[in-house]
Chain A
Amino acid sequence: MSLGYYFLLPVIFSFLTPYFRKLGTSALRGSSVFLTFILFVQTLEYTGVSLPQISQFSVAPPIGIAFVLDNFSLLFLLIFTFSGFMVSLYMLWYFKANDNTNETRFYVFFNMLLAGSIGMILSCDIFNVYIFFEITGISSYALAAYNKDKLGLEAGIKYLIIGSIASIFIVFAIMLIYLQIGTVNIGLIAQRYSEIDPKIAVLIALMLFIGFGTKAELFPMNFWAPDIYQGSSSHVNGLFSAIVAKSYLFVFFHLFYLFGLNTKYTLLIMSLGAITFLVSEFTALNQKDIKRLFAYSTLGQLGILFMALASNSSDTISGALFHLASHSISKLLIFLVLGILISKFKSTKITIVGDFKSLFLSIVLIIGFLSILGIPPFSGFIGKILILKGFALSHNYIAIAFILLVSIVEAVYFFRLIALMLDKKRTKTSVPVGFVNYIVLSVLAILIVLFGVYPSLLTHYTDLATNALLQPHSYLQFALGVGL
């Protein structure tokens, strides 16, 4: 299958949603499950193929645009298509149990959110990346405001304004790049980036940093994120945390290493990541609202990822990618469980939501919590220990001490939550789970345990991805159209 289908199939499904709706709600929901399933199976097939792979549109690059899949993007593609498939299954239950007046429009945005994020990681043309950036952005603004209540509208308008400002910076950077080099192909830009006047190069790096850093929720620019998470539905939060934030993170570090910015700005990005981690975890301590709490927790984990991915050492980056995959799965699990609880209790207060009675939900939720916290035998533990090992190998003991100390703060609020859930003195209400949710949540929980017990299942891919990121020679050749 040509790589172009990753974008074209969701587009055609989105355009035809009004007609799926006319066939009935089950056709509408089924179409999305079918679409995400095809994409996921196709991605699994790519794990056995020699990479990079290329597929061109119209004209061969560097003049035209092409999609290039290398081992680094394959890891993200696996995470995105898997999370998309899980959420589309979950939505079979969600729209049955909740208000579904605008369901058709929700599916349009869901499909395009997935297509935009995938396009961003596959395209080898920086202006094309910008187009996908906009597609992902507009879909996520609409999804944030989907509930149309006070908080939802606030989230939507806030996200719209912040996102538009971020995209202005990116357009400005692309314009400067075109003025200096005369091309928008990522391969050619990477080759000639060192020829740019150093002053302008700093400006371009700054613009890209502000644009993608804002969207990837890095410290000075992440003030908006908790409001967005609070205002939108819980499974939308899962999408934001598992797919959207990760796709911006991908572009951020892809350009960071391809343009050779890692030689100059490693320390800056690492310290900003550390501040993100510190500030978010301490703010999370005081939260009364469960969605805000996990928004801050997501920011904190992204902080660790920024610290580790910017570190320039292959062991740390490999660990960070493991942690990234594990975090996506665990956060998706947590947010989906929260969605079930919130739709029952109609509240997001921790003290109300915590009073549920369901053995299954308690078990999977605790698995998710312990995985994020980094307790064995769950995947989060392996992710964190690999990052710490990488820092130890590069003799960065300050980072190790920092991560371990701040993790204590994290432990405080997670164990407080668990204690609240297991408190037998409180009056508990039983919560219906729904058949399809048993499958979705069990699959996610089993994966967390599986990667924790057999980390080699995932480390194989993260090692390949790290090599592709640090030695991008073959990617750059393909981006220039060599493989055609």
Chain B
Amino acid sequence: MNLKKEFRLKHIVLSLLSSALMLSILGLLSHVKTNLHKTVGDIVLSLNMQTATANAVTSVVTFFRGIDTVGEVTVLFLATTGIALMLSSTQRTYKKVVHQESFILDIGSKMLLNVIVLFGVYVIVHGHLSPGGGFQGGVVIATAFLLLFLANPNMKLKHSILTLGESLSGAAYVLIAIISLFKINILLGNFLPHPVSQIGELVSGGIIPIIYIIVGIKVGSEMSVIVEYFVKEDYLKEVPHA
């Protein structure tokens, strides 16, 4: 009944107008050039050898556009803080879930936890050699905690440790940028030795792997916090009155 009331002429006109706009934009898009050469992407690819990093994407993310990554890490931090602001409250109480201990589930999830975390660490540490890196590896680590939550809803994460990882890794990233300013007079420059002959080795690329490890710690701890808040929402006792 409400549907009928809200269906008015202005909605028809608006939807017609917006579809006309979309169609005209689609028409314009046929004029877009797609075969561009000598873009800044091509230049960066040709310069990639200087960073001694086997993975060009990593050198773009952590070096050529390093300050963008500081920004991205900050965006993630703000998102986590925003979720914590919205979902944490003294008024909220959670149901105690009757957890049926299953031996296989318990042991199985704990065994898998180590494997998943190890894989996440591998992805992070090899970020400058193979596809992957801090962001991806951090999310992999967070899935390990998601597994624990699925196996045991009453589990609690140690927030002091997560806050430590979150804060100190973020601060370390900024400190690296500032140390670089004092060492080579450029913010976020590659001030550690990075000889091209070492390309492809685990220790190569100067600060690039260090930055990705820091990003990995930060993303891992933040995604875990987000996972915990969202899992807990399922066991909310009653919605507090605003």
Could you list 17 examples of A-B contacts with CB < 8 Å?
Answer: A8-B178, A8-B187, A12-B171, A15-B166, A16-B167, A57-B187, A59-B64, A63-B47, A65-B65, A142-B85, A178-B39, A179-B34, A181-B36, A182-B36, A183-B40, A184-B40, A200-B32
A64–B62 alpha-carbon span in the complex (Å):
12
Check B33–A180 contact: CB distance below 8 A: yes
Pick the most buried of B25, B42, B84, B187: most chain A CB atoms within 10 A of its CB. B187
Nearest chain B CB to A398 CB, angstrom units:
29
Of the 9-residue stretches B75-83, B103-111, B138-146, B226-234, which lies at the interface with chain A?
B75-83
* B170 CB within 8 Å of chain A: yes
**Residues in chain A near residue B28, CB distance under 8 A:** 199-200, 202-203
Task: Check if B43 sits within 8 Å of A11, measured CB to CB.
Answer: no
Contacts of B78 in A (CB 8 A): 108-109, 112, 135, 138-139, 142
Instruction: Please give me the residue from chain A that is nearest to B43 by CB atom.
Output: A63
A105 in contact with B64 (CB, 8 Å): no
Which among B68, B167, B175, B242 is the interface contact of A131 at CB below 8 angstroms?
Answer: B68
Asked whether B151 is an interface residue with its Cβ less than 8 Å from the other chain, the reply is no
Stretch at the interface among A83-91, A143-151, A326-334, A471-479: A143-151
Interface of A is mostly: helix
For window 158-217 of B, CB contacts with A under 8 Å fall at 163, 166-167, 170-171, 174-175, 177-178, 181, 186-190
Whether the Cβ atoms of B40 and A185 lie closer than 8 Å is yes
Q: A139-B78, A180-B33 are in contact. List 7 more A-B contacts (CB 8 A).
A: A12-B174, A12-B175, A58-B190, A63-B40, A148-B242, A179-B32, A200-B28
Flag if A138 contacts B67 (CB, 8 Å): no
Q: What distance in Å separates the Cβ of B171 from its nearest Cβ neighbour in chain A? A: 5
Query: Is B63 part of the contact surface with A, judged by Cβ < 8 Å?
Result: yes
B40, B70, B84, B89: the one contacting A105 at CB < 8 Å is: B84
Interface size class of B (residues with CB under 8 A): 35 or more
What's the minimum C-beta distance from A162 to chain B, rounded to whole angstroms? 16
Complex contacts, B66 vs chain A, CB 8 Å: 57-58, 65
Residues of B within 8 Å of A265, CB to CB, are none
Look across to chain B and name the residue whose beta carbon is closest to the beta carbon of A105. Answer: B85
Question: How far apart are the CA atoms of A105 and B82 in the complex, in Å?
Answer: 8
A263 interface residue per 8 A CB criterion: no
B74 cross-chain contacts in A, Cβ below 8 A = 11, 14, 112, 115, 135
Q: Please determine whether A197 and B167 come into contact, CB atoms closer than 8 angstroms.
A: no
Is the beta-carbon distance between A58 and B242 smaller than 8 angstroms?
A: no
| In contact, B65 and A64 (Cβ under 8 angstroms) | yes
Decide if B71 touches A199 in the complex (CB within 8 Å).
no
A2 touches B163 (CB 8 A): no
Say if the beta carbon of B90 comes within 8 Å of chain A.
Answer: yes
Instruction: Tell me if B44 is interfacial: C-beta within 8 Å of chain A.
Output: yes
B44 lies within 8 A of A63 (CB): yes
Q: Are A148 and B86 in contact (CB under 8 A)?
A: yes
Asked if A101 is an interface residue, CB under 8 A from chain B, the answer is yes
Say whether B4 faces chain A, with CB atoms less than 8 Å apart. no
Chain A residues within 8 Å of B33, by CB: 179-180, 197
In whole angstroms, what is the CA distance A101 to B90 when docked? 9
Is A109's CB under 8 angstroms from B81's CB? yes
The reply to whether A131 and B72 contact each other, CB–CB distance below 8 Å, is yes
A248: interface (CB < 8 Å)? no
Residues of A within 8 A of B170 (CB): 11-12, 15
Query: For B67, what are the chain A residues with a Cβ–Cβ distance below 8 Å?
Result: 4, 7, 57-58, 65, 128
> Looking across the interface, which residue of chain B has its beta carbon closest to that of A65?
B67
Most buried by A among B36, B71, B166: B71
Within 8 A of A (CB), among B26-72: 28-29, 31-34, 36-44, 47, 63-68, 70-72
- Whether A127 and B68, one on each chain, are in contact in the complex, defined by CB atoms closer than 8 angstroms, is yes
Interface string of A167-211 (1 = CB under 8 A from B): 000000000101111111100000000000101101100000000
A371 within 8 A of B: no
Complex Cα distance, B90 from A148, in Å, reads: 13
Q: Does A34 contact B (CB under 8 A)?
A: no
Asked if A138 contacts B174 (CB within 8 A), the reply is no
In the complex, A341 Cα to B203 Cα: how many Å?
61
Give A172 to B164 CA distance when docked, in angstroms. Answer: 37
